[in-house]
């Protein structure tokens, strides 16, 4: 059993693609990352080369993967217990800004990496993946209507996306304009309008192995508390279902009880918990 590392997305896709597609709900983010890197090139998320890896059994079966698009944290799939300390060994000497692991594996990796790399670690965010069971719109939706965003909304989307990353404490992505163009290309942004003015947005991913993820839901602070976020989420979810998605998923920040309660009311149910850890010198 061993980790195999590469910087080539096609090699990774050919080797680990079947493993990822076998559990598209749990692997939704990894599938999106691989799809984007294959479509937009290895530097879609930044100027540094990505890192891919897979954990193989003695029989050659892939049983876990890792993926990093520097400077973002390295993301791991669910891992067999022996793969966690082996990953620390395999990655020794590399710079890791942070990691994104399932809740059952994060403590072991974090402790091992602190000892190996001589760094400090702190938890940035605890998240929960949810899967749609039955879409349940609110009984009294807010005034207004949903519409797809278009090129004329580019400046609005840029401002809202940057505000979203600032609010959750994430580094502003360097590729935000390119992301917006990509979202608009496949109709991935739903806006909720009231009296002709956009009040909230919900962004969904491209389908990957039959699964679509609601990636970002954002409402400016002054417009919150009126039901716009729920209405935008329902509209984006229905759009995903209408385009043939077998499953619709989303991630929530466990520190935000309001959004967790909202999405459960809309019909989303918990699947797995993850923890994002940042490493500093």
Burial class (CB in 10 A: 0-12, 13-18, 19+), 121: buried
State residue 170's pLDDT score: 79
What does the pLDDT look like over 194-240, one tens digit per residue? 999 999 999 999 999 999 999 999 999 999 999 999 999 999 999 99
Count of C-beta atoms within a 10 Å radius of residue 161: 22
Task: Give per-residue pLDDT as tens, 160-177.
Answer: 999 998 988 777 777 788
List the chain residues with pLDDT less than 50.
Answer: none
Specify whether the CB–CB gap between 31 and 7 falls below 8 A: no
Give the closest residue to 218 by CA, choosing from 179, 247, 189.
189
Count the domains in the chain.
2
Q: What per-residue confidence (pLDDT) applies to 175?
A: 77
My answer on whether 216 and 138 are in the same domain is yes
Q: Give me the domain span that covers residue 62.
A: 2-118
| Same domain flag for 69 and 168 | no
pLDDT reported for residue 152: 97
Q: Are residues 77 and 163 in the same domain?
A: no
Cα 226 from Cα 276, distance rounded (Å): 31
Q: Does residue 217 share a domain with residue 136?
A: yes
Whether 20 is covered by a domain: the verdict is yes
SS3 content of the chain, % helix, strand, coil (to 5): 35, 30, 35
Instruction: Kindly state whether residue 277 falls inside one of the protein's structural domains.
Output: no
Give the pLDDT score at 87.
Answer: 98
């Amino acid at each position: 059993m061993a980790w195999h590392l590469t910087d080539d997305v096609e090699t990774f896709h050919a080797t680990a693609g079947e493993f990822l597609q076998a559990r598209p709900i749990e692997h939704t983010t990894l599938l999106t990352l691989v799809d984007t890197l294959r479509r937009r090139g290895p530097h879609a998320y930044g100027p540094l080369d990505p890192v891919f890896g897979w954990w193989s059994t003695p029989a050659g079966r892939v049983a876990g993967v890792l993926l990093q698009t520097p400077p973002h944290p390295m993301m791991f799939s669910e891992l067999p217990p022996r793969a966690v300390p082996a990953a620390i060994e395999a990655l020794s000497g590399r710079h890791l800004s942070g990691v994104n692991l399932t809740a059952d594996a994060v403590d072991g990796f974090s402790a091992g990496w602190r000892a190996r790399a001589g760094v400090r670690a702190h938890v940035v965010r605890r998240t929960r993946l949810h899967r749609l069971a039955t879409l349940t719109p609110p009984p009294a939706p807010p005034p207004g209507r949903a519409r797809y965003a278009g090129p004329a909304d580019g400046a609005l989307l840029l401002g809202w996306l940057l505000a979203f990353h600032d609010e959750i404490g994430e580094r502003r992505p360097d590729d935000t304009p390119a992301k917006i163009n990509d979202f608009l290309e496949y109709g991935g942004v739903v806006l909720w309008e009231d009296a002709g003015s956009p009040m909230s947005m919900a962004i969904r991913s491209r389908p990957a192995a039959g699964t679509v993820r609601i990636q970002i839901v954002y409402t400016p602070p002054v417009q919150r508390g009126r039901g716009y976020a729920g209405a935008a989420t329902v509209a984006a979810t229905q759009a995903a279902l209408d385009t043939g998605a077998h499953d619709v998923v989303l991630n929530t920040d466990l520190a935000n009880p309001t959004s967790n309660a909202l999405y459960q009311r809309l019909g989303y149910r918990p699947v797995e918990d993850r923890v994002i850890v940042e490493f500093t010198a």
